[in-house]
Structure 1
Amino acid sequence: MNACADHPVHVPVLADRVVELLAPVLGRPGGGVVVDTTLGLGGHAELLLREFPDARLIGLDRDPHALDAARERLDEFGERSTLLHAVYDEIPDVLDQLGLTEVDAVLFDLGVSSLQLDDPSRGFAYSRDVTLDMRMDPTRGITAAEVLNTYPVTDLTRILRDYGEERFARRIAERIVRERANTPFTTSAGLVDLIRGAIPAAKRQVGGHPAKRTFQALRIEVNGELAVLQRALPAAVDAVAVGGRVVVLAYHSLEDRLVKQTFAALARPDVPDGFPVVPPGHEAVLRLLTRGADKASDEEITANPRATSARLRAVERIRAGRKSSDRGGTA
């Protein structure tokens, strides 16, 4: 599957499984409406529009550069494709703007897009010296450099520990604060060297590149990824009609845990454990479509290494009524 010549190729992850899960709602006569909340370069979007010729796509992305690339890629589908600059927790506002009360499917393909990873100016890479930006929407918000140069050591420690699951969060944070007093951080090379020096030599070869966890943590903080996802998942469930489906591809344990907990809470009755009777209106909202999380095959990982960490979970809405966002225990 080729992207336009000016942009990198985007190979959609677990593409066959996504098609299989959405076929019941997008492949029926008259098609259906799917919201691709993380459009990126449009790999999944193009696949769904080709596979289901009666379906209509609403594509969202916070990155205007990704939207431009996807718009070129999806131009041939004309009015079947509507692309908007929006973050995925803005699903209710988007549907209201388009005059829709519900849709048939919502797809999340979380994490960093191919466009963002492959463009050095975006600052997501730790394998080369790049500007420390990391904003998925480069038109607004705080940059990674601003986080590094302004956050106190306690906040930096929390971010690296909670978002990067970094064992040496405190040591790295203290060194960042000492270093920035002399030279503020602007590019990644100095940060990578600092991280390597802060982690004991015996531990540097464990868990991949020693800067991987810190860069993940900074990216999540800069883009508010977990907070946005925590709002977006219930909003997606509320947006789909009864019988509609939500499919989520996550790429690290923090995202996947949040997805798992949210779906699990909505797939059981909204009553205390051990309650003998489920009153009307408190039944489960969702049915789980995946047993645990689906993963890419060895063959797919060989062809597309970015599929290695992918975890796919899917649900079907089984009743209308109470807003899922009003229910507790989703995170």
Structure 2
Amino acid sequence: MFQHITVLLNESVDALNIKSDGVYVDCTLGGAGHSSLIVKRLGPNGTLIGLDQDNRALEAAKQKISQASCRVILHKANFQHVKEVVKSYGIDQVDGVLFDLGVSSPQLDEGERGFSYHEDAPLDMRMDQEQELTAYQVVNQYSEEELSRILFQYGEEKFSRRISHHIVQHRMHKPIERTAELAEIIKEAIPAATRRKGPHPARRSFQAIRIAVNNELGVFEEALQQVVPLLRKGGRVAVISFHSLEDRICKHFFQEQAVGCICPKHFPVCVCDHKPALTIITRKPIVPTNDEIEVNARARSAKLRVAEKL
């Protein structure tokens, strides 16, 4: 059963300003939590396009929104191909795009997928189980320097050098094959005083390896670039992120797209004729209420940013 508690459900769908005959893209379909609410607000002339890499998510979503009165298109793809997918159905522009980033609850909860340091499983971490690169390859084949970079850049792990050194030392004797093995190696690498406080010592490293396996930040940046020309005037893009790296990418992208004149400051008049593509709707990100966090602890780090096409 693909069960997932949707984060910032009403806030994100409200932010899209759904028109009954509009076209909306859910780039991270998952269990269809957001899409279920979107299709309720669409009429017979409306269209929902849902993208996901996970076959089980697509099947669960298909069942969940089978009664929708609007046109529903569910497509297996990484959202870095959002423009190509939309165009393939003869659609040139859309009225809204939603991203709900990160790993879904079912993927975390299915121990065999290898996302969690709480469950012993093969080192996998693939969102698309048909892709070749797995966490096993990252952990056992990447150089110590590259591992350290991944842990520091994607996990903001201050002990990245110590952890990568421990990983390389262990794999010299035998490959690291299981999540429990990796979690224990990471734990050993971190000073005892640090281990005794804060979250699980492997949390940041597992996040970093998962991001590397799925190239999450790269595909998100690529997808954002594609979304702006896809949106029609007044169309909106809403992004729910769960850690600072994703939020920073989104924030900076929206700011860049909202800039007008780019002439040097000493120019008396504008000669560049550069026009902003987006206006930022959320000057500060929308965050979950305390009530939502009580029900779903995984919502605590969520941030929603919204921008509108000019």
Q: What range describes the TM-score normalised by the shorter chain of this pair?
A: over 0.9
Match of 1:50 in 2: 40
Question: Is the 8 Å Cα contact of residues 163 and 220 (structure 1) preserved in structure 2?
Answer: yes
Q: 2 CA distance for matches of 1:12 and 1:279? A: 47
Q: In structure 2, what is the Cα distance between the partners aligned to 1:85 and 1:278?
A: 45
Q: Deviations over 1:23-48 (max 9, x none)?
A: 2xx23xx5201000010111100011
2:106 alignment counterpart = 115
| SS of aligned partner of 1:171 | helix
Q: Does 1:315 pair with 2:297?
A: no
Which residue in the other structure is 2:274 paired with?
A: 282
State the SS of the aligned residue for 1:179.
helix
Q: Tell me what 1:21 maps to.
A: 15
Measured at CA, do residues 278 and 315 of structure 1 come closer, stay the same or move farther in structure 2, by a change above 3 Å?
Answer: farther
Percent of aligned pairs sharing the same letter? 44
Q: Which of 38, 59, 68 lines up with 1:77 in the alignment?
A: 68
Q: 2:2 aligns with which of 1, 4, 7?
A: 7
How far off its partner does 1:272 sit?
Answer: 3.9
Superposed, 1:181-220 pairs within 5 Å as 181-220=172-211
2:146 maps to which of 152, 155, 173: 155
Distance 2:182 2:69 in 1: 45
Q: In structure 2, the residue corresponding to 1:75 is in which secondary structure? A: coil
- In the alignment, is the contact (CA less than 8 A) between 2:53 and 2:77 conserved in 1? yes
1:41 corresponds to? 31
Kept after mapping to 2: 8 A contact 1:35/1:107: yes
Deviation of 1:118 after TM superposition, in Å, equals: 1.5
Give the alignment's Cα RMSD to 1 decimal: 1.5
Query: Helix, strand or coil for the counterpart of 1:81?
Result: strand
Give, in whole Å, the separation in 2 of the partners of 1:79 and 1:229: 28
- Paired residue secondary structure (2:259): coil
Instruction: Tell me, yes or no, if the aligned pair for 2:262 and 2:272 is still in contact at 8 Å.
Output: no
Deviation at 1:184, TM superposition (A): 0.6
Normalising by structure 2, report the TM-score.
0.95
Which residue number in structure 2 is paired with residue 324 of structure 1? none
| Structure 1, 210-219 or 232-241: larger mean CA deviation | 232-241
Query: Which residue does the alignment assign to 1:304?
Result: 296
SS in 1 for 2:84: helix
Q: Are the aligned partners of 2:54 and 2:128 in contact in 1 as well (CA < 8 Å)?
A: yes
Amino acid paired to 1:52: L
Q: Using the alignment, how far apart are the partners of 1:279 and 1:207 within structure 2?
A: 53
Q: 1:83 to 1:137 in 2, by over 3 A?
A: same
Partners of 2:279 and 2:307 within 8 A in 1: yes
Aligned position for 1:96: 87
Question: Where do 5+ consecutive residues of structure 2 fail to align?
Answer: none
Q: Is the partner of 1:77 in helix, strand or coil?
A: coil
Describe the SS at the equivalent of 2:293. Answer: helix
Alpha-carbon contact 1:37-1:106 (below 8 Å) kept: yes
Q: Distance in 2 between matches of 1:277 and 1:288?
A: 25
Q: Tell me the residue number matched to 1:295.
A: 287
Q: Which residue identity lines up with residue 145 of structure 2 in the other structure?
A: T
Provide TM-score, normalisation by structure 1. Answer: 0.89
Aligned 8 A contact 1:40 1:114 in 2: no
Pick one of 209, 213, 222 that aligns with 1:222: 213
The CA deviation at 1:208 is 1.0
For 1:267 and 1:222, locate their aligned partners in 2 and report how far apart those are by CA, in whole Å: 32
Q: 1:252 corresponds to which residue?
A: 243
Q: Is the contact made by 1:294 and 1:313 (CA closer than 8 Å) also made in structure 2?
A: yes
